A and B are shown apart, each in its own frame.
Chain A
Amino acid sequence: MSIAREEVAHLARLSRLALGEEELDHLAGQLDQIISAVARVQEVAADGIPATSHAVPLVNVYRDDVVVPCLGAEKALAQAPAVDQQRFRVPRILAED
């Protein structure tokens, strides 16, 4: 086993996925298989080889500081799950205590 069942449950919490026990069981087996397979990268990658984060090398990209139109409040809120007084209404963020 490359990954324990408790670790999978922890990953689900970090990933903000409220998964049921059955789903966790199923995923645990599959993730174990996948992680074992992808661990092969450790066979070749030796020290001293630089990491590539982007295939085509990039430097900082700047643009001129020009004002362009942006979405108005109405358009931005049009697809919101809940709206209150021209704002996104969201569930409480802080606990009661």
Chain B
Amino acid sequence: MDSELTGMTAAALAAAIAAGEVSAAEVTEAHLARIGAVDAQVHAFLHVAGDAARAAARAVDEQRAAGEVLGPLAGVPLALKDVFTTEDMPTTCGSRILEGWQPPYDATITRRLREAGMVILGKANMDEFAMGSSTENSAFGPSRNPWDLSRVPGGSSGGSAAAVAGFEAPLGIGTDTGGSIRQPAAVCGIVGVKPTYGGSSRYGLVSFASSLDTPGPLARTVLDAALLHEAFSGHDPCDSTSVDAPVPPVVAAARQADVSGLRVGVVPELGGEGYQPGVMARFGEAVELLESLGAKIVDVSCPHFSYALPAYYLIAPSEASSNLARFDGMRYGLRVGDDGTRSAEEVMALTRAQGFGAEVKRRIMLGTYALSSGYYDAYYGKAQQVRTLIIRDFEAAFEQVDVLVSPTTPTTAFPIGERADDPIAMYLADLCTIPSDLAGNAALTVPCGLAPEDGLPVGLQIMAPVLADDRVYRVGAAVEAVLADRRGHALLDEARGLDEARGIDNG
């Protein structure tokens, strides 16, 4: 019964709970048992909130018993990235500087999930302050990829991705600043979406780069991602950058799953040299598949996309250096060296040196450099101009096509340790995802097969204009449906990393 429940989609679980075929309490117990069985290996969670999860599930069962109408995902469990504040659970952002910190309030996303009757199983591991592409920058140790435990699950939302791919949770919440939802989803063989910037609230999300940070869903199917997207989206007066517009009809689009007549642009700048052959092969097949479904395929050049990565690594660190100034050891978090002899400034510098990890220090210093007088115009200023050029590339492209497609990330999951102290190599993982972050538009990754050379998942990225989030779901669902039909089973059934823990003989 347990493995049946953990193998179900969120949509199926919600339907079964609403129909009274299974209780929310049983669903939560099954997932907590799965976490108990495999998380010592996967390390998807920094904190498992067993008691709070059980209480939330019981509340849903009581509401149902009382005849109340339940929300579309009531009783469904999920993994929440440890960057969202939770009043009843610690929030660390994967950092020593916030170790043990218990926030005094819930993030808007946290609150909306609770109001939807969803069950937060715990807080998912992440690269420290969401800076990284592997979870190796977590101060509490990396998560592992359920396809191959010696490899990274991507990052920074790698804990959420590993939890979903490892059947520890049917859904996950992540944040995308440079690709931190789509890249881990792609290398774990699941679906991940970066909504339009401002479509999901940042209130109570610990800031990394405020003009880029975007919360979004991770799931095993496109429909599940859409259901979660609708559950937490919508205008939030507590976030002044929140978009005051209706949530795009993403669930309807995921059910529509139709691309006939749609104009699809292939971006030649996102592919070719430096991309793994198996990634390009699967991407090429996905494009052919879209054509066979009636989409019109054209090449659309976006000449400035190759400058997106350098622009991002100036803009994001600049914003981070400013945002992370709040970690000064005065009002919350770690304080080091307060022995009565040192000044506040000395205590602050000692606290930050001890509390932050290597990548966070690199980015704070890089941002401080880019913003300092004498360098501002040459670095931060130029990067902001490049951002304009990238937005113009998208605008020109979307005059010709409805969506753009590319591989989600240039390679499959890389071995843990391979890029850990090589920042430039690590940054390349975000090559294809960054343009949509800089432009603030919507983008989704859906699995499009395994790379033949290593048997690891490849993601297809679909990008759409600002507030046209429904289009990426429509295309993603169409690709997903055909590939599942051809394969005859879900792609994740081929994941072997946890066979022993699952006790399943895949033959």
A associates with B: yes
Whether A63 and B439, one on each chain, are in contact in the complex, defined by CB atoms closer than 8 angstroms, is: no
Taken together as a complex, chains A and B put the C-alpha atoms of A45 and B392 apart, in Å, by 13
Taken together as a complex, chains A and B put the C-alpha atoms of A71 and B384 apart, in Å, by 37
Given A30-B362, A31-B362, A93-B343, verify A56-B243 contact (CB < 8 Å). yes
Name the contact of A55 in the complex, choosing from B237, B366, B440 (C-beta under 8 A): B440
B335 touches A (CB below 8 Å): yes
Taken together as a complex, chains A and B put the C-alpha atoms of A38 and B196 apart, in Å, by 26
Whether A35 and B241, one on each chain, are in contact in the complex, defined by CB atoms closer than 8 angstroms, is: no
- Produce 1/0 per residue, B348-361, CB < 8 A to A: 11101100100001
Taken together as a complex, chains A and B put the C-alpha atoms of A30 and B198 apart, in Å, by 33
Taken together as a complex, chains A and B put the C-alpha atoms of A52 and B311 apart, in Å, by 11
Taken together as a complex, chains A and B put the C-alpha atoms of A31 and B365 apart, in Å, by 8
Given A15-B365, A16-B349, A19-B361, verify A38-B423 contact (CB < 8 Å). no
Within 8 A of A (CB), among B358-389: 361-362, 364-366, 368-369, 372, 378-379, 381-389
Whether A42 and B382, one on each chain, are in contact in the complex, defined by CB atoms closer than 8 angstroms, is: yes
Taken together as a complex, chains A and B put the C-alpha atoms of A67 and B415 apart, in Å, by 53
Taken together as a complex, chains A and B put the C-alpha atoms of A42 and B307 apart, in Å, by 10
Given A39-B310, A41-B383, A91-B347, verify A15-B364 contact (CB < 8 Å). yes
Question: Which A residues touch B330, using CB under 8 A?
Answer: 81, 88, 90
Whether A44 and B342, one on each chain, are in contact in the complex, defined by CB atoms closer than 8 angstroms, is: no
Prevailing SS type, chain B contact patch: helix
B283 touches A (CB below 8 Å): no
Compute the total of residue contacts between A and B using a CB distance below 8 Å. Answer: 179
Question: Which B residues touch A52, using CB under 8 A?
Answer: 384-385, 387-388, 391, 438
- Produce 1/0 per residue, A57-88, CB < 8 A to B: 01001010000000100011011111000001
Closest to A42 in B: B382
The winner among A53, A63, A93 for most chain B CB atoms within 10 A is: A53
Within 8 A of B (CB), among A3-19: 3, 8, 11-19
Taken together as a complex, chains A and B put the C-alpha atoms of A45 and B383 apart, in Å, by 8
Given A39-B310, A63-B237, verify A56-B198 contact (CB < 8 Å). yes
Name the contact of B331 in the complex, choosing from A56, A63, A80 (C-beta under 8 A): A80
Closest to B356 in A: A17
Given A58-B241, A61-B240, A91-B342, verify A41-B332 contact (CB < 8 Å). no
Whether A51 and B381, one on each chain, are in contact in the complex, defined by CB atoms closer than 8 angstroms, is: yes
Whether B335 and A82, one on each chain, are in contact in the complex, defined by CB atoms closer than 8 angstroms, is: yes
User: How many residues on chain A are close to B (CB under 8 Å)?
Assistant: 53
Whether B332 and A38, one on each chain, are in contact in the complex, defined by CB atoms closer than 8 angstroms, is: no
Taken together as a complex, chains A and B put the C-alpha atoms of A79 and B391 apart, in Å, by 42
A-binding segment of B11-19, B63-71, B101-109, B174-182: B101-109
Closest to B385 in A: A45
Name the contact of A44 in the complex, choosing from B304, B325, B340, B378 (C-beta under 8 A): B304
Question: Which A residues touch B378, using CB under 8 A?
Answer: 39, 42
How many Å from the CB of B384 to the closest CB on chain A? Answer: 4
How many Å from the CB of A92 to the closest CB on chain B? Answer: 6
Closest to A48 in B: B385
Within 8 A of A (CB), among B439-496: 439-441, 466
- Produce 1/0 per residue, A32-48, CB < 8 A to B: 01110111111111100
How many Å from the CB of A50 to the closest CB on chain B? Answer: 6
Taken together as a complex, chains A and B put the C-alpha atoms of A18 and B353 apart, in Å, by 5
How many Å from the CB of A32 to the closest CB on chain B? Answer: 11
Whether A34 and B391, one on each chain, are in contact in the complex, defined by CB atoms closer than 8 angstroms, is: no
Whether A49 and B385, one on each chain, are in contact in the complex, defined by CB atoms closer than 8 angstroms, is: yes
Question: Which B residues touch A31, using CB under 8 A?
Answer: 362, 365-366, 369
Whether A43 and B384, one on each chain, are in contact in the complex, defined by CB atoms closer than 8 angstroms, is: no
A95 touches B (CB below 8 Å): yes
Taken together as a complex, chains A and B put the C-alpha atoms of A6 and B40 apart, in Å, by 44
B329 touches A (CB below 8 Å): yes
B125 touches A (CB below 8 Å): no
The winner among A35, A41, A92 for most chain B CB atoms within 10 A is: A41
Given A17-B349, A30-B423, verify A79-B332 contact (CB < 8 Å). yes
Q: Which 7 A-B pairs have the closest CB atoms?
A: A55-B440, A51-B384, A81-B335, A45-B385, A18-B349, A52-B387, A61-B240
12 further contact pairs, Cβ within 8 A, besides A35-B369, A54-B241, A91-B344? A17-B352, A27-B362, A27-B365, A44-B307, A45-B382, A53-B211, A55-B211, A55-B391, A79-B332, A82-B338, A92-B343, A95-B343
List 11 interface pairs A-B (beta carbons < 8 Å), by A numbering. A3-B369, A13-B349, A31-B362, A41-B385, A44-B386, A50-B385, A55-B197, A55-B391, A56-B196, A80-B331, A88-B331
Binding site for B on A (CB under 8 A): 3, 8, 11-19, 23, 27, 30-31, 33-35, 37-46, 49-56, 58, 61, 63, 71, 75-76, 78-82, 88, 90-93, 95
